[in-house]
Amino acid sequence: MQTRNPLLNDFAELMTDAFGAAQAAGDEARSVFRAQADRVIVDMDLVSREEYDAVKTALAAGQEEIEDLKKRLDALEARVAKPASRATKPRKKATTAKKTPKSTS
Protein backbone atom coordinates (compact mmCIF):
# COMPACT_ATOMS: atom_id res chain seq x y z
CA MET A 1 0.00 0.00 0.00
CA GLN A 2 1.19 3.34 -0.99
CA THR A 3 0.13 6.36 0.93
CA ARG A 4 0.00 9.85 -0.46
CA ASN A 5 1.77 12.45 1.54
CA PRO A 6 0.21 15.87 0.90
CA LEU A 7 3.37 17.60 2.14
CA LEU A 8 5.52 15.91 -0.51
CA ASN A 9 2.94 16.63 -3.23
CA ASP A 10 2.86 20.29 -2.27
CA PHE A 11 6.65 20.42 -2.21
CA ALA A 12 6.85 18.80 -5.68
CA GLU A 13 4.34 21.30 -7.08
CA LEU A 14 6.24 24.16 -5.50
CA MET A 15 9.53 22.96 -7.01
CA THR A 16 7.92 22.52 -10.44
CA ASP A 17 6.56 26.04 -10.31
CA ALA A 18 9.92 27.39 -9.08
CA PHE A 19 11.80 25.72 -11.95
CA GLY A 20 9.25 27.04 -14.45
CA ALA A 21 9.63 30.56 -13.04
CA ALA A 22 13.44 30.26 -13.11
CA GLN A 23 13.34 29.13 -16.72
CA ALA A 24 11.04 32.01 -17.69
CA ALA A 25 13.33 34.45 -15.88
CA GLY A 26 16.32 32.98 -17.71
CA ASP A 27 14.57 33.33 -21.07
CA GLU A 28 13.64 36.92 -20.23
CA ALA A 29 17.21 37.72 -19.16
CA ARG A 30 18.54 36.17 -22.37
CA SER A 31 16.20 38.25 -24.55
CA VAL A 32 17.08 41.46 -22.64
CA PHE A 33 20.79 40.70 -22.98
CA ARG A 34 20.42 40.02 -26.72
CA ALA A 35 18.51 43.28 -27.21
CA GLN A 36 21.21 45.19 -25.32
CA ALA A 37 23.97 43.49 -27.32
CA ASP A 38 22.18 44.33 -30.59
CA ARG A 39 21.90 47.94 -29.50
CA VAL A 40 25.64 48.08 -28.70
CA ILE A 41 26.50 46.53 -32.07
CA VAL A 42 24.36 49.09 -33.90
CA ASP A 43 25.98 51.91 -31.93
CA MET A 44 29.45 50.58 -32.81
CA ASP A 45 28.47 50.43 -36.50
CA LEU A 46 29.43 46.78 -36.86
CA VAL A 47 28.16 44.55 -39.65
CA SER A 48 26.29 41.30 -39.32
CA ARG A 49 27.79 37.99 -40.36
CA GLU A 50 25.46 37.80 -43.36
CA GLU A 51 26.56 41.23 -44.61
CA TYR A 52 30.22 40.30 -44.11
CA ASP A 53 29.81 37.04 -46.05
CA ALA A 54 27.99 38.85 -48.88
CA VAL A 55 30.76 41.44 -49.21
CA LYS A 56 33.43 38.74 -49.01
CA THR A 57 31.75 36.80 -51.85
CA ALA A 58 31.42 39.94 -53.97
CA LEU A 59 35.10 40.76 -53.36
CA ALA A 60 36.21 37.28 -54.42
CA ALA A 61 34.14 37.53 -57.61
CA GLY A 62 35.60 40.96 -58.33
CA GLN A 63 39.15 39.71 -57.84
CA GLU A 64 38.53 36.81 -60.23
CA GLU A 65 37.18 39.22 -62.82
CA ILE A 66 40.22 41.48 -62.40
CA GLU A 67 42.55 38.51 -62.93
CA ASP A 68 40.65 37.51 -66.09
CA LEU A 69 40.81 41.07 -67.41
CA LYS A 70 44.55 41.26 -66.68
CA LYS A 71 45.11 38.09 -68.69
CA ARG A 72 43.07 39.46 -71.58
CA LEU A 73 44.97 42.74 -71.44
CA ASP A 74 48.32 40.96 -71.46
CA ALA A 75 47.23 38.89 -74.46
CA LEU A 76 46.08 42.00 -76.33
CA GLU A 77 49.28 43.86 -75.50
CA ALA A 78 51.31 40.90 -76.76
CA ARG A 79 49.37 40.87 -80.03
CA VAL A 80 49.86 44.62 -80.48
CA ALA A 81 53.55 44.48 -79.53
CA LYS A 82 54.47 41.89 -82.20
CA PRO A 83 53.60 44.03 -85.25
CA ALA A 84 55.13 47.08 -83.59
CA SER A 85 58.42 45.28 -83.08
CA ARG A 86 58.49 44.31 -86.76
CA ALA A 87 57.89 47.89 -87.79
CA THR A 88 60.82 49.16 -85.75
CA LYS A 89 63.35 46.85 -87.43
CA PRO A 90 65.25 48.59 -90.24
CA ARG A 91 64.47 47.27 -93.68
CA LYS A 92 67.15 46.31 -96.10
CA LYS A 93 67.46 48.57 -99.08
CA ALA A 94 66.78 46.95 -102.37
CA THR A 95 69.60 47.31 -104.84
CA THR A 96 68.56 47.93 -108.37
CA ALA A 97 72.02 48.04 -109.87
CA LYS A 98 73.51 44.81 -111.05
CA LYS A 99 76.74 43.76 -109.51
CA THR A 100 79.52 43.38 -111.99
CA PRO A 101 81.96 40.62 -111.46
CA LYS A 102 85.43 41.73 -110.58
CA SER A 103 87.95 40.92 -113.14
CA THR A 104 91.19 39.51 -112.00
CA SER A 105 93.93 40.80 -114.21
Cβ-based neighbour number of residue 25 at 10 Å: 10
Residue 95 in domain: no
Same domain, 42 and 52: no
Expressed as residue numbers, the domain containing 75 is: 48-87
- The amino acid sitting at 87 is A
Claim: this prediction has a pTM higher than 0.75: no
Domain count, the chain: 2
Dihedral sign of CA atoms 17, 20, 24, 30 in order: positive
Residue 2 in domain: no
Same domain, 57 and 32: no
Same domain, 26 and 53: no
Per-residue pLDDT tens over the stretch 45-100: 888 899 999 999 999 999 999 999 999 999 999 998 886 555 555 566 655 555 55
- The amino acid sitting at 37 is A
